[in-house]
Structure 1
Amino acid sequence: MTDRGTDDVGTSEGRQTRRWSIVGPGIVVAATGVGAGDLVATLVAGAEYGYTLLWAVVLGVVVKIALAEATGRWHLATGSTIFAGWRSLGPWTTVYFVVYVAIWGFVYGATAMTSSALPLAAMFGGSIPAWGIPCGLVGLVLVWFGSYPLFEKIMTVLVGVMFVVVVGLAILVLPDVPAMLAGLIPTLPQGSGIYTLGLVGGVGGTVTMAAYGYWVNAKGWRDSSWIKVMRLDNRVAYITTGIFVAAMLVVGAELLYTANIALVESDRGLLDLDAILEQRFGPVIATLFLVGFFATSFSSLLGVWQGVSLMVTDFVRTRREAVAKTPEELQAAGQLSDDAERSTPFRLYLLWLTFPPIVLLFLGRPFALVVAYGALGAFFMPFLAITLLWLLNSSRTPREWRNGWLSTTLLVGAAVLFLVLCVTELMDTFG
């Protein structure tokens, strides 16, 4: 898993001088977390409230920087993985993980393939399965046979395409700068509570945030001397993502809010936007938007195929070791080996993400499965925030790398935010 390209950066000074050239894991985790559904939610918020909720995007960036920094700091400061940390808190922390990754992976696999297929079908014709299945298989091949450095390069290219297309589109629609600046002042229009929570919680916030530490290790960053570089990497990535999401809010505010146009609140809503762009700017701009739509969707697919498979691999490793080790011994057991991407658990979960979900492309999503998917997924982000607070404020973390007042405040805020979102998601799911 080690990125050999950073091995020659042996000294602290060398690491600092080259830090801009080696950022990357943050881009991977941020791009994975922002999918087509997040773009639609942001567009709808812009269509409903104009620029009024722009401040929520900024707040979302701050929350995700705090969460990802805490995850990366745990891996680097302790030399152990997040799963080893969870197990040191007791077996209860991973009780639901097997059920979660089984159901979540099954439904998400179909969702990711569908989302990647939509823009391709719009550009070239054909059915969703005809494009979705190849997208899943390409993701499988790239992760199965590739290495982390290749994976990171592909993700960086996809992020570049996403960023250029969406920010370019925001510039093209001529944003109202005074209204944008006014939108940075926190206000809550009537009925905007759910949209606001969604914007704060949705700027790259998924289960893959917990994978950031694994990608940090895969980059070759293995100890606390890399924490400053990790923090820079994390900030650059989420600020870039924040600009990207803010650009989508601008598009929603300028194209939809001013014209009182409503979108379908699903990935297909981006096809509605494509039609609007073609009418206003012509087929070239509309096609470029579909390219950005594909880059957004496929980067999420690729990131989950790689990152969540690493998490499952570590779950298996720590479960085996937990039988014979105390919590303290388990935490000291270290990180995943360099050949984790070639391990049996990694590849079995890759196959699970790719082949069983193909059935759902033809059959739709069974109601009970969708309910379980929503319920299990709602618990993960509050669980992550709370356990990071616990781990990083305890003796499990070296004193110099424990949470300060700012980190503690932000993680408490994140925990409260995601608990509220969890309750809202459960009410929507079972209601």
Structure 2
Amino acid sequence: MEKKDNALKALRITRVFRCIGPAIIIAASIIGPGTVTTASSTGAEYGYALLWCSVISAILAYILNEPGLRWTLKTRTTMLEGIRGMNPVLAKVTFVALFVGALAYQTGNYLGAAMAINLLIPALSIQGALVILAVFSVIIAFVGKYKVLENVNTGLVALMMFAFLITMVASRPSISGIAQGLVPHIPDGGKLLVLGLIGTTVCPDIPFAMSSLAKKKWVGGVKDLKAAHNDLKFNMVATGVITCAVTICAATNLFPRGITVSSAADMAQALTPVLGTYAFVLFALGLWAAGFSSAVYMTSCIPPMMQEAFGFEDNPKSLSSRICILIIAAFPIIVTFAMGGTVPTVIIVAAQVLNTFILPLSVVLIAILANRRKILGECASSFRQNVAMAVVAIVVILLTYTSIPTIIGLF
């Protein structure tokens, strides 16, 4: 009897891992240098107080991405293709906005990964590391195989979980402090970091990329919907766990000492005198995985979205796809070399502006597609799903409204 129970448990675990698919690529893209930096800053400034926000952000990300699975598996088209069916111009405008934002964020992805490499190998300059990263991300994108992309990102997410969780455990955090931090409340001055944590997790391009990836992975249509939901749940949990682990590391080691950080690289260096060299190496490896996984996502997932929005040939090896890949890979290098290794403020501002104003548009378009009952039938959004999406919309509107003064101040 005991052997049978163990066999059933092993079978369930095997099924869970078989369900891992597109969402792990999404999880890898969400946990980039921006997320690691924001989580580090949150823990260093407010201790465990904002842990709840990482949990809420992962839930909101699930709600935002889930309708795309229903649309794609039912219609066998992506959401951008669905928007193009309603209005071709709207689909093109949406992609162009997402593409410009992707260029800005890709710069941050490359720099974050390059800084991590530079921390581990000081003899290699940041510019040199950038070129190496670009070459590898282009090779992966040029291969154009979904399984290669999935396997690469699975490995990178596993590395992030290992690095950040081991560092967290070695920090010996306060269990009572973690428990208190899971109770929602915003400490004085913490509103911007709350918005930052949500903004780095709930991104406008992610649902469209998720839809595109789901079309490649879940070829069985609606019968694969349960597996697709399990995939999304598993990886959104992984996203929340990794973000919480980074926050807990900073809350345990830096907050009591009054040490603040302005980048994830600062966080890695700040851990060295507290936990020793091994923690520094682990955290730097996690930061590299965060930056490189997000960079691979951009070079591999944005070109198919272009083809969907413009109605181009669905071919990863087409000329238009490869030009798009090269632009996404080259832009951060050109900008970084031109600016001597620093990111110009205008690019950061552009990314924030686009993210702030595209996100509400994304939420509206997703809600419209998810409620097209003549097309989706039983897969259309239920009352409960619409209520959940309305909550996301409210959070997004608040995020937009409260971000405007900050954005204006950056100009």
Structure 1 residues 391-414: Cα deviation after superposition (integer angstroms, max 9, x where no partner): 112235422111123321221111
Structure 1 residues 252-286: Cα deviation after superposition (integer angstroms, max 9, x where no partner): 2111211111111xxxx222222222112222221
User: Given residue 268 of structure 2, which amino acid in structure 1 is its aligned partner?
Assistant: D
CA contact (8 A) 1:25 1:152 kept: yes
> Which of residues 110, 113, 126 is equivalent to 2:110?
113
CA contact (8 A) 2:21 2:150 kept: yes
Name the structure where helix makes up a greater proportion of residues: 2
Distance 1:302 1:87, change over 3 A: same
Given the alignment of the two structures, is residue 275 of structure 1 paired with residue 269 of structure 2, yes or no?
yes
Distance 1:393 1:384, change over 3 A: same
How is 1:225-240 mapped onto 2 (pairs within 5 angstroms)?
225-240=223-238
- Which segment is superposed worse, 17-26 or 373-382? 17-26
CA contact (8 A) 1:173 1:251 kept: yes
> Which of residues 365, 384, 394 is equivalent to 1:416?
394
Secondary structure of 1:355's match? helix
Secondary structure of 1:244's match? helix
Given the alignment of the two structures, is residue 216 of structure 1 paired with residue 229 of structure 2, yes or no?
no
> Which of residues 157, 160, 182 is equivalent to 2:158?
160
How is 1:3-152 mapped onto 2 (pairs within 5 angstroms)?
18=15, 20-91=17-88, 93-94=90-91, 96-97=93-94, 99-125=96-122, 126-152=124-150
Unaligned runs of 5+ in 2: 1-10
Distance 1:134 1:169, change over 3 A: same
User: How far off its partner does 1:233 sit?
Assistant: 0.3
Given the alignment of the two structures, is residue 428 of structure 1 paired with residue 403 of structure 2, yes or no?
no
Given the alignment of the two structures, is residue 350 of structure 1 paired with residue 348 of structure 2, yes or no?
no
How many percent of aligned residue pairs carry the same amino acid? 23
User: Given residue 212 of structure 1, which amino acid in structure 2 is its aligned partner?
Assistant: M
Given the alignment of the two structures, is residue 379 of structure 1 paired with residue 330 of structure 2, yes or no?
no
Distance 1:356 1:50, change over 3 A: closer
- Which segment is superposed worse, 389-398 or 171-180? 389-398
Q: How many residue pairs are counted as aligned between the two chains?
A: 395
Structure 1 residues 222-253: Cα deviation after superposition (integer angstroms, max 9, x where no partner): 51111111000000000011111111111121
User: Given residue 270 of structure 1, which amino acid in structure 2 is its aligned partner?
Assistant: A
User: How far off its partner does 1:298 sit?
Assistant: 0.3
CA distance in 1, matches of 2:379, 2:58: 22
CA distance in 1, matches of 2:15, 2:176: 38
CA distance in 2, matches of 1:99, 1:217: 21
User: Given residue 423 of structure 1, which amino acid in structure 2 is its aligned partner?
Assistant: Y
CA distance in 2, matches of 1:30, 1:381: 18
User: Given residue 305 of structure 1, which amino acid in structure 2 is its aligned partner?
Assistant: T
CA contact (8 A) 1:386 1:411 kept: no
Aligned match of 1:404: 382
Given the alignment of the two structures, is residue 183 of structure 1 paired with residue 161 of structure 2, yes or no?
no
User: How far off its partner does 1:305 sit?
Assistant: 1.0
CA contact (8 A) 2:204 2:362 kept: no
- Which segment is superposed worse, 69-78 or 376-385? 376-385
Distance 1:397 1:51, change over 3 A: farther
Aligned match of 1:294: 288
CA contact (8 A) 2:29 2:294 kept: yes
CA distance in 2, matches of 1:106, 1:187: 35
How is 1:189-200 mapped onto 2 (pairs within 5 angstroms)?
189-200=187-198
CA distance in 1, matches of 2:197, 2:354: 20
CA contact (8 A) 1:43 1:249 kept: yes
CA contact (8 A) 1:201 1:417 kept: no
Secondary structure of 2:257's match? coil
CA distance in 2, matches of 1:240, 1:62: 11
CA distance in 2, matches of 1:101, 1:85: 16
Aligned match of 1:248: 246
CA distance in 1, matches of 2:108, 2:183: 35
CA contact (8 A) 2:22 2:214 kept: yes
CA distance in 1, matches of 2:242, 2:299: 23
CA distance in 2, matches of 1:16, 1:404: 30
Distance 1:372 1:249, change over 3 A: closer
Structure 1 residues 77-116: Cα deviation after superposition (integer angstroms, max 9, x where no partner): 2222111222344346335335424533433333222111
CA contact (8 A) 1:100 1:377 kept: no
User: How far off its partner does 1:193 sit?
Assistant: 2.0
CA distance in 2, matches of 1:15, 1:167: 24
CA distance in 2, matches of 1:292, 1:367: 26
Aligned match of 1:312: 306
Distance 1:87 1:183, change over 3 A: same
| TM-score, normalization by structure 2 | 0.89
- Which segment is superposed worse, 125-134 or 160-169? 125-134
CA distance in 1, matches of 2:80, 2:392: 20
CA distance in 1, matches of 2:105, 2:54: 24
CA distance in 1, matches of 2:217, 2:399: 32
Distance 1:366 1:247, change over 3 A: closer
User: How far off its partner does 1:55 sit?
Assistant: 1.6
Secondary structure of 1:342's match? coil
CA contact (8 A) 2:144 2:317 kept: no
Distance 1:93 1:222, change over 3 A: farther
User: Given residue 180 of structure 1, which amino acid in structure 2 is its aligned partner?
Assistant: I
Unaligned runs of 5+ in 1: 1-13, 321-335
CA contact (8 A) 1:208 1:307 kept: no
